[in-house]
Structure 1
Amino acid sequence: MTLDPHTLLAIVTMAAATILTRLGGLVLIRFVTIGPKQKRALEAIPPAVLMAVIAPTALVTGPAETLAALATALVAMRLPLLAAVATGVMVVALARMFGA
Structure 2
Amino acid sequence: MISLPVLLTILAMAAVTYLTRIGGYLVLRNRTLGPRATAVMEAAPGCVLIAVIAPHFVSPRPADLLALAITFLAALRLPMLAVVPIGIVAAAALRWLLG
Structure 1 length as normaliser, TM-score? 0.60
Query: Alpha-carbon deviations, 1:50-100, whole Å to 9, x = none?
Result: 12112213531522321322443455467543222123235446756886x
Kept after mapping to 2: 8 A contact 1:58/1:66: yes
**Counterpart for residue 30 of structure 2:** 31
Kept after mapping to 2: 8 A contact 1:55/1:69: no
Kept after mapping to 2: 8 A contact 1:75/1:84: yes
Percent identity, aligned pairs only, is: 44
Structure 2 length as normaliser, TM-score? 0.60
**Counterpart for residue 59 of structure 1:** 58
Aligned positions, number: 97
Instruction: Tell me whether 1:46 sits opposite 2:45 in the alignment.
Output: yes
Structure showing greater radius of gyration is 1
Kept after mapping to 2: 8 A contact 1:69/1:88: yes
Computed over aligned residues only, the root mean square deviation of the Cα atoms, in angstroms, reads: 3.5
2:48 match: secondary structure: helix
In structure 1, C-alpha distance between the alignment counterparts of 2:97 and 2:10, rounded to whole Å = 41
Q: Structure 1: 5+ residue runs without aligned partners?
A: none
Q: Which amino acid aligns with 1:31?
A: N
The 10-residue stretch of structure 1 (61-70 or 45-54) with the greater mean CA deviation from structure 2: 61-70
In structure 2, C-alpha distance between the alignment counterparts of 1:80 and 1:53, rounded to whole Å = 18
Query: Alpha-carbon deviations, 1:17-64, whole Å to 9, x = none?
Result: 332222121122212222222222222222221121122135315223
In structure 2, C-alpha distance between the alignment counterparts of 1:3 and 1:41, rounded to whole Å = 40
Residues 1:19 and 1:68: Cα distance change in structure 2 (over 3 Å) = same
